[in-house]
Amino acid sequence: GITRTPLIAGNWKMNLDHLQAVAFVQKLHWALKDAKHQDGSVEVAVFPPFTDIRSVQTLIDADKIPFALGAQDVSAHDSGAYTGEVSGAFLAKLDAKYVIIGHSERREYHAESDDVVAGKVQAALKHGLVPVICVGETAEDLEKFGASAVPAGQLEAALKGVPASADIVVAYEPVWAIGSGQAATPQQAQDVCAALRGVLAKSLDEDAAARTRVLYGGSVKAANIASFMREPDVDGALVGGASLVVDDFAAIIRFEK
Ligand code: PEP
Q: According to the annotation, is 41 in a ligand binding site?
A: no
Residue 239 Cα to ligand 1 middle (Å): 5
Q: According to the annotation, is 88 in a ligand binding site?
A: no
Residue closest via CA to ligand 1's atom 4 equals 240
Is the C-beta atom of 246 inside 6 A of ligand 1? Answer: no
Residue 135 Cα to ligand 1 middle (Å): 12
The answer to whether residue 2 scores a pLDDT higher than 80 is: no
Number of domains into which the chain is organized: 1
Say if 80 falls within a structural domain: yes
Say if 143 falls within a structural domain: yes
Give the residue numbers spanning the domain of 152. Answer: 7-174+195-222+231-238
Give Cβ neighbours of residue 32 (< 8 Å, ≥ 6 apart): 38, 44, 250, 253, 254
Say if 144 falls within a structural domain: yes
Q: How many helices (H) and strands (E) does the chain have?
A: 11, 8
90 contacts 97 by C-beta, under 8 angstroms:
no
The predicted model gives 224-239 an average pLDDT of 98
Residue 13 Cα to ligand 1 middle (Å): 9
Q: How many CB atoms are closer than 10 A to CB 97? A: 17
Residue closest via CA to ligand 1's atom 1 equals 240
Q: What does residue 218 show for φ and ψ, rounded to 5 degrees?
A: 135, 95
The answer to whether residue 257 scores a pLDDT higher than 90 is: no
Q: According to the annotation, is 12 in a ligand binding site?
A: yes
30 contacts 22 by C-beta, under 8 angstroms:
no
**ipTM tops the 0.90 cut:** yes
Tell me which residue of 97, 100, 160 sits closest to 136, measured CA to CA: 100
Say if 73 falls within a structural domain: yes
Q: Could you please report the per-residue DSSP string of 2-49?
A: -----EEEEE--S---HHHHHHHHHHHHHHTTTSGGGGTSSEEEEE--
Say if 1 falls within a structural domain: no
Is the C-beta atom of 219 inside 6 A of ligand 1? Answer: yes
Say if 94 falls within a structural domain: yes
Q: According to the annotation, is 1 in a ligand binding site?
A: no
Is the C-beta atom of 217 inside 6 A of ligand 1? Answer: yes
Amino acid at 156: E
Residue 113, CA distances (Å) to 58, 103, 118, 157, 198 in order? 34, 11, 9, 10, 22
Is the C-beta atom of 104 inside 6 A of ligand 1? Answer: no
User: Virtual CA dihedral for 69, 119, 51, 29, nearest 10 degrees?
Assistant: -10
Residue closest via CA to ligand 1's atom 6 equals 240
Say if 51 falls within a structural domain: yes
123-160 pLDDT tens trace = 999 999 999 999 999 999 999 999 999 999 999 999 99
CATH number of residue 202's parent domain = 3.20.20.70
208-231 pLDDT tens trace = 999 999 999 999 999 999 999 999
Residues annotated catalytic, as ranges: 103, 173
Say if 245 falls within a structural domain: no
Q: According to the annotation, is 179 in a ligand binding site?
A: yes
Is the C-beta atom of 173 inside 6 A of ligand 1? Answer: yes
The answer to whether residue 34 scores a pLDDT higher than 90 is: no
Q: How confident is the model at residue 112 (pLDDT cuts 50, 70, 90)?
A: very high
Is the C-beta atom of 220 inside 6 A of ligand 1? Answer: yes
What confidence score (pLDDT) does residue 1 get?
A: 67
Q: What does the alpha-carbon distance between residue 39 and residue 108 come to, in Å, rounded to a whole number?
A: 38
What confidence score (pLDDT) does residue 38 get?
A: 81
pTM (global) more than 0.90: yes
